[in-house]
Amino acid sequence: MRNRERFALLLPVRCILFLLIFVAGATIVGKKVGDISNWWSVIASIVNILLVAALVLLARRSGGSYRELIRYEKGRTTKKQIVKMVILVLVGGMSGMFLAGFICYGVIPYGAPMIIAPISPALAIINALILPVSTALAEDALYLGCGVNGIRNKYAAVIVPAFFFALQHCFIPTLFDVKYIIYRFLSFLPLTIVLCMDYQKKRDPVPIMVGHALIDVATAMQIIATSLIPGFYEKMCSL
């Protein structure tokens, strides 16, 4: 694939897009940015789909394909590798979130309540089918395919993509609260470093994508619950 190094320039794109979308969206509806934070999952799905389409197009123009971008090879991944990565992602993700919550808020376990805030029930169900798959395809292609594969320096190829991989979560949803931004960044940074290191070593995106998708399945299921069950969101927030 030609000009692979240029793909790394795309790493900040999700941070910029989410920041602009939430600010513009809040301005259009005449509300504060925090007041539309419950729509983050729908916005994320839309951005994911657009990003995947853009990466497919860019890969083709560079003489390759999306599969080549992420270095996917059919049949190379074993079930054991997937199980190990799923456990790593789930444990690492939850541990990072709880540790960051303790550092920033002095509470264990802590989870940002707006992440599972209710939306339209029908939309919550539809988005639960879209969010996990689209997030894995978009984020892992960007930060692993464009980042790890696009940066030549061994150490920068892990640190830079992992940094932006974690940073994007500070704007999904966007809240202009320093403590929240630090919390979100610290929640994901340890895991994104591990994922970038694993991918750099094995160049196999499948286990990471599966583990990544399952995390978002869990989140989507919680959004469905808060959207369908009256009082469930308030109960979760009080825990």
**Per-residue tens of pLDDT for the chain, all 239 residues:** 677 778 999 999 999 999 999 999 999 999 999 999 999 999 999 999 999 999 999 999 999 999 999 999 998 999 999 999 999 999 999 999 999 999 999 988 888 889 999 999 999 999 999 999 999 999 999 999 999 999 999 999 999 999 999 999 999 999 999 999 999 999 999 999 999 999 999 999 999 999 999 999 999 999 999 999 988 888 877 76
What is the pLDDT, as a whole number, of residue 1? 66
Partners of 38 in the beta sheet? none
Residue listed under structure tokens 């694939």: 1
The length of the chain is: 239
Retrieve residue 98's tokens.
């709880």
Domain assignment present for residue 158? The answer is yes
Cα(191)–Cα(100) distance, integer angstroms: 12
Q: What does the alpha-carbon distance between residue 126 and residue 220 come to, in Å, rounded to a whole number?
A: 10
pLDDT for position 165: 98
- Three-state DSSP at 113 gives helix
Residue 147 lies in a domain: yes
Rounded-to-integer distance, Cα 13 and Cα 17, Å: 6
Give a yes or no: residue 40 inside a domain.
yes
> What is the predicted pLDDT for the residue at 143?
98
Q: Is residue 74 part of a domain?
A: no
| Single-letter amino acid, residue 57 | L
User: Torsion-angle region of residue 73: left (phi > 0), alpha (psi -120 to 50) or beta?
Assistant: beta
Q: Are 41 and 217 in contact (CB under 8 A)?
A: no
In a domain, 92, yes or no: yes
Helix, strand, coil: what percent of the chain each, to 5?
Answer: 80, 0, 20
Cβ–Cβ under 8 Å, residues 238 and 56: no
The number of domains in the chain is 1
**Structural domain that includes position 213:** 7-58+79-238
DSSP code at position 6: G
Residue 174, SS3? strand
* 111 assigned to some structural domain: yes
How much is the pLDDT for 239?
A: 63
pTM of the entire structure?
Answer: 0.94
